[in-house]
A and B are shown apart, each in its own frame.
Chain A
Amino acid sequence: NAGVTQTPKFQVLKTGQSMTLQCAQDMNHEYMSWYRQDPGMGLRLIHYSVGAGITDQGEVPNGYNVSRSTTEDFPLRLLSAAPSQTSVYFCASTRSGAGNTIYFGEGSWLTVV
């Protein structure tokens, strides 16, 4: 049981490039979400999903796309990277319903130059 796995751990992009941050969980969790964390700040929700084929926006969705074709995977796409997207990105998952434990991945450090 690997929990929530994020790849890559570190990435440097040039402005305008696109890339995908991968997130996978092996706990058969229905709910998955992506957060970003800027220096000295708490995490902010980007997008979330309540099941395969269903996604919705969070607090800071601009510049990011998501899709959920399987229960296990929830990739985050940066369409045209900007320096403002330099951040640490965290993926999380949990079972459906209220009051369940929410598990986080170890993070993906992204620098856009």
Chain B
Amino acid sequence: DAKTTQPTSMDCAEGRAANLPCNHSTISGNEYVYWYRQIHSQGPQYIIHGLKNNETNEMASLIITEDRKSSTLILPHATLRDTAVYYCIVSANAGGTSYGKLTFGQGTILTVHP
């Protein structure tokens, strides 16, 4: 599995965009980048994922560099409820499919303050 590197913690002001970086320089060509978040030890909540194109949904945007070695999760208007641990994960590569396995790192603790 490709390893990911994220900053340990970040701060963001409420209402501003939160930009969370992730480095995955050893990613393979058929591996996806997933973002999850976890609030107070609840079950991980899916945010977004992508392969090589930028993606956007109702929660966030995912920007993947052209060489796919890094990505940025953007929460466009952060709220206090976005305070959580954010995990950037590259899917397991077993026979070309993920088999639903994810390798979690330490994640980034995002604190949104008033």
Interface size class of B (residues with CB under 8 A): 20 to 34
Please tell me if A86 contacts chain B, counting CB pairs below 8 Å.
no
Residue tally, chain A, CB below 8 Å to B: 32
Q: Which residues of A contact B23 (CB under 8 A)?
A: none
CB-based contact A90/B43 at 8 Å? yes
Report the tally of A-B residue pairs with Cβ distances under 8 A. 72
Closest to B103 in A: A45
B86 → A minimal CB distance (Å)? 11
Q: Which residues of B contact A88 (CB under 8 A)?
A: 41
Q: Which residues of B contact A (CB under 8 A)?
A: 30, 32, 34, 36, 41-46, 49, 51, 87, 91, 96-107
Q: Which residues of A contact B (CB under 8 A)?
A: 4, 29, 31-33, 35, 37, 41-45, 48, 50, 58, 88, 90, 92-94, 96-107
